[in-house]
C-alpha cells in the first residue's frame, strides 16, 4: 500500500445502482481516508433513477461512470465490498488478495417493480439511504 490511501471497491452485477450509490456515499463520507471505486461484473450503464435518488439526498454521482471490473484490472484493492449476492458469488480472484466484505442491499428496480409506479422514486431513495447508513459505519468494519 505504501503512501497511498487504502483502495475500496464497491462491486455489483452491473454497476448501475447500488455500487454507484455506495461509491457516491463513500466519497462524500470517507474520501479523505480511502480511495473509492465502483464496478460491476459487467457495465449496464448508470441508472437515471439512482442519480435522481442520490441528488435528492444531496450527492451528485453524475460524474461517476458505469464500468466493468476489467476496466480496473491494473488497480490493487485493499477491500472489496460486494453489494449484491450475484457479485459475491462471482467475485474473481484479484491481485493483492483484498479483504472481501459482503453487504447485500435490495435491487432498487426490483423493489420498485413490486410497488405502485408512484412509489418508484421512494424505492430508490430508501435503498440509497440504507446504503448511506451502512457506508457511514464502514471504517468501523474494516
Residue 109: per-residue pLDDT: 87
pLDDT tens readout for residues 71-103: 998 999 999 999 999 999 998 877 777 899 999
Q: Report the CATH superfamily, name and number, of domain 7-141.
A: Response regulator (3.40.50.2300)
Residues ≥6 apart with Cβ < 8 Å to 18: 10, 12, 83, 84, 105, 107, 108, 127, 131
Max CA distance (Å), the chain: 51
Decide if pLDDT at 1 tops 70: no
Helix spans in the chain (H): 18-30, 48-56, 85-90, 108-113, 120-136, 138-141
Decide if pLDDT at 2 tops 70: no
Residue 3: per-residue pLDDT: 78
Residue 133: per-residue pLDDT: 96
Average pLDDT of the chain? 91
What percentage of the chain carries pLDDT values higher than 70? 98
Decide if pLDDT at 120 tops 60: yes
* Number of residues that make up the chain: 142
What is the DSSP code (8-state) at residue 106?
-
Per the CB < 8 A criterion, the answer to whether 129 and 23 are in contact is no
Domain ranges of the chain: 7-141
Identify the CA nearest to 35 among candidates 79, 67, 68, 90.
Answer: 79
CA 61 distance to own-chain centroid = 11
Amino acid at each position: 500500500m505504501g503512501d497511498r490511501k487504502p483502495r475500496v471497491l464497491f462491486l455489483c452485477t452491473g454497476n448501475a445502482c447500488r455500487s454507484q450509490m455506495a461509491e457516491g456515499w463513500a466519497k462524500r463520507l470517507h474520501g479523505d481516508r480511502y480511495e473509492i471505486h465502483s464496478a460491476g461484473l459487467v457495465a449496464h450503464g448508470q441508472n437515471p433513477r439512482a442519480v435522481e435518488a442520490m441528488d435528492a439526498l444531496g450527492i451528485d454521482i453524475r460524474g461517476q461512470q458505469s464500468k466493468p471490473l476489467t476496466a480496473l484490472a491494473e488497480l490493487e484493492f485493499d477491500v472489496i465490498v460486494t453489494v449484491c449476492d450475484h457479485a459475491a458469488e462471482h467475485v474473481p480472484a484479484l491481485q493483492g488478495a483484498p479483504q472481501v466484505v459482503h453487504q447485500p442491499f435490495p435491487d432498487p428496480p426490483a423493489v420498485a417493480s413490486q410497488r405502485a409506479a408512484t412509489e418508484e422514486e421512494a424505492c430508490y431513495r430508501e435503498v440509497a439511504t440504507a446504503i448511506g447508513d451502512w457506508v457511514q459505519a464502514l471504517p468501523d468494519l474494516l
